[in-house]
Structures are given as structure tokens and as C-alpha cells.
Amino acid sequence: MTTEILDNTIPATGRRRRSGVKRMPVAITSPQNQRVKDLIKLEKRAARELRRVTLVEGVREVSRALDAGITPVEAYVCPELATDPELQPALRKLEELDATRRTTLYTITPEIYAKIAVREESGGVILVIRYRSTALDHLPLRASPLFIVVENPEKPGNLGAILRTADATGADGVIVCGGTDVHNPNVIRASLGTVFTMPVAEAYTDDAIRWLRAHDLRIIAATPEGAKVYVSHEAGHERQLEAINAAVATAAVTGPTAEPVTEPERRAPEATPPAAETASGSTGGSTGDTGAVLPPPMPATYPNPDRRVKVYTSVDLHSPCAIVLGSEADGLTEPWLEAADDRVYIPMRGQADSLNLSASTAVILYEALRQREVEAPNKVRRNTSS
């Protein structure tokens, strides 16, 4: 038997029950119930910040939150939808928490669930959980830590995917500097609940740099410089065209800021590049679709003109370091570029000049994992908690 809430002023906890009477979930059947309206408001960051709570939905997300030891303030279950066998341990846990008055369990109708849920078919259970601490000092430090820093991420899905990749590669933590908040329900969803086991911190850029320096962590930044490679099939050579003066792209493994490099500085002083045919058949610069003349291709072995910008596989990711990534729209800000110990790029051989933020992160993180497994397999942390 369940009880319909008639008085919305009743606190979520503290309802008095007679001793010895089994505690039963409280039923909410009206979409106009104030609790339903308050839950809908939590889709907005301002409401979440005000109450310092957020929403969790999804079979894996709910299960991983409870497995991580998180006790929800409230839990809302739609019996008609919460039928996934993988969800049953979580439901039993919620009943136990409700019975011991550590949380308050409500049952809701499919209509109400549809109004509250961020996405359809997410399992029939929604948790309201308190914000977790995101202070830098709560991040763990081991012998050779590996951190990811994300500056001003714009899309919750990207940040959630980065958390999943950090979990998969055994990273020690993720630091978020501005942009999307880590408590966004869409971040939780995109992370598949790994946000509950991956240490996460939020910090201002200057504070994050100071923290990394205080713990002797190298800063490595990825930029678009040197990323674009044009191939001359006629000559059989490759020419690197670095976007030296372009906005800094997605990923960053910190290093010194590159100075603008002019075209003459890019040429080998004592070597004559092989000639290329123009569209008209004469030798010299090749002509693109726009009619612009490109300089002849350089040998594939010709080094990156700015030696401080390196291909991501050539830098040391085995020692203690932080991989820094900027937003897709604006890249990294000057403080990160100035603080960088190394700047790296991911070669791009097609028409695109950069990768998606989460994809760039994955490429570099798996290189870090490869280096650590090959060079020091005993030092690689293997995450078995999720």
C-alpha cells in the first residue's frame, strides 16, 4: 500500500512512522505535485547550484552511483518502467536505504517519469544526489600520476566521454577549468556513471597551474600547429603545413608557446625540395582548387619547423604529467600555453584540421597508456572498480 502526497510542505525526510510499521514508498500521481516541478527545475544549472544537488538516471548510472557509496537525498521509481534485471540490485539497495531512513523513496507514474527524465527509456529510476567535492586537494597522487585538464568544455557529452576515456586508460583524475559543470545530468549520462569513480576537480586556470607545478607535474598541450599534412603523390613526399598562427585547437599537452613562423623559415636552408607540377604541367608550386599556389612539397623527413611543437607520440607521457585540452571553438587560453612544458599535435592527413575534443583526448590518453604499459607495466593503475 502506498500513500499519495497531499501536503507538499512535508519535508523529504522526517515523516513520522509508527514503530514496527514497515516503511513504504510514498506515491506521487499528480504531475502538478511541487516535487515534480522542483525536479524539472534541476535541468537548469542555476537551480542545481542553488540546491547543490543533481539528477542521476539510467541503469548503469544509477547502479554505479550506489555502488560508489553515494546515498541519494531522494529516489523516484516508476514500477512500470523499472523492470531491467540489471536494475534489481539497485532497487533493493534503495529499499534498504529508505527503510533505514537514509533516503526517501517515491513511486511515480510513467507520465511523471517522462516529465522528469532527461532522456527516454532510461530505466525508470531517478536519483537526487548531493554535489560531491571537486576541490583540487581531493585528487589522489601516486608515484607517476596522469591527469587530464579540460579548459572551457562546451558540450556535456564531450566532457562525459572524456571521463569514460580517463577511466578506461587508468588516469588519476580530471580537472575542469570553466565551461560545462561536472554535475550536469548529461555529463553523468555521457560518462555512463564513471564520474562517480573517476576523481574530478573544478578549478580556475591559475589555481590549476599552481597545483600542477606544486606537485611537479609536466604540462603538455596539443595544438593544430603541424597537424595538417598535404601529400604530393607525384613527388612521393609529404609537406607539413602548420597552422602556427591559428587558434589553438582541441587537445593540449602543455609546452612553450610557439612563435609565429614565416614561410621562409620553414624551408630547409641547405636542401632544395623536389619540384612539383602545377595544374598546367609546369614545375613549381602546386595549385589547389582555389587557384592559390602552394610551395613545393618538402621531404617527409623534414622536421617540424617549430621544434617545440611535436607529434604527440614523440613526447614523454610516462613521467608525471597533465594533458591539457581546450575547447573546440577557442582552444587553450594564453596562461596554459605559457605554462606548457611541451606542445603536441595530432597529424591530420585529410580535409579536417582537427578532431572532436573527446576524440583528441582519447588518442593522446591511449598513447600515454601505451608508453606506460610498454615502458613500466607495473606502474600502470588498472581500474577495476567499474
Q: Tell me what pLDDT residue 225 has.
A: 60
Q: Tell me what pLDDT residue 22 has.
A: 63
Higher pLDDT, 110 or 266: 110
Return the exposure string of 71-98: e unless at least 16 CB atoms fall within 10 Å of the residue's CB, then b.
ebbbbbbbeebbeeeebeebbebbbebb
The dihedral through the CA atoms of 252, 258, 261, 267 has a sign that is negative
Instruction: Report d(CA 180, CA 162) in Å as an integer.
Output: 13
Dig out the grid coordinates for 6 from the structure: 497531499
Read off the pLDDT of each residue in 332-356 and give the average, rounded to a whole number.
Answer: 86
Read off the pLDDT of each residue in 273-290 and give the average, rounded to a whole number.
Answer: 38
294 backbone dihedrals φ, ψ, rounded to 5°: -95, 140
- Residues 56-69 have pLDDT tens digits of 999 999 999 999 99
Instruction: Report d(CA 17, CA 5) in Å as an integer.
Output: 15
Name the most confidently modeled range: 140-154, 272-286, 326-340.
140-154
Read off the pLDDT of each residue in 73-89 and give the average, rounded to a whole number.
Answer: 94
- Residues 170-181 have pLDDT tens digits of 999 999 999 999
DSSP symbols for 176-213: EESSS-TT-HHHHHHTTTGGGTS-EEE--HHHHHHHHH
Nearest-CA neighbor of 119 among 186, 53, 30? 186
> DSSP class of residue 293?
E
Q: Return the domain boundaries, the chain.
A: 23-130, 132-259+279-386
Q: What percent of the chain has pLDDT over 90?
A: 56
Are the CB atoms for 328 and 357 separated by under 8 Å?
A: yes
- Residues 157-209 have pLDDT tens digits of 999 999 999 999 999 999 999 999 999 999 999 999 999 999 999 999 999 99
Q: Tell me what pLDDT residue 375 has.
A: 65
Is 132-259+279-386 the same fold as 23-130?
A: no
Task: Tell me what the pLDDT averaged over the chain comes to.
Answer: 77
- The position carrying cell 597533465 is 322
Read off the pLDDT of each residue in 267-278 and give the average, rounded to a whole number.
Answer: 37
Instruction: Report d(CA 209, CA 88) in Å as an integer.
Output: 44
Instruction: Report d(CA 201, CA 132) in Å as an integer.
Output: 10
| pTM exceeds 0.75 for this model | no
As beta bridge partners, residue 110 has none
333 pLDDT band (50/70/90 cuts)? confident
Instruction: Report d(CA 273, CA 249) in Å as an integer.
Output: 29
The CATH superfamily holding the domain 23-130 is Ribosomal protein L30/S12 (3.30.1330.30)
What ranges in the chain are assigned the alpha helix state H?
34-41, 45-51, 59-67, 88-99, 110-116, 156-168, 185-190, 205-214, 263-266, 334-339, 357-375
Count how many residues are written for the chain: 386
- Residues 235-257 have pLDDT tens digits of 333 333 343 333 333 344 433 34
Higher pLDDT, 148 or 309: 148
Higher pLDDT, 194 or 289: 194
Name the most confidently modeled range: 219-233, 280-294, 302-316.
302-316
Look up the CATH architecture of domain 132-259+279-386: 3-Layer(aba) Sandwich (3.40)
Nearest-CA neighbor of 231 among 307, 312, 299, 313? 299
Q: Tell me what pLDDT residue 185 has.
A: 95
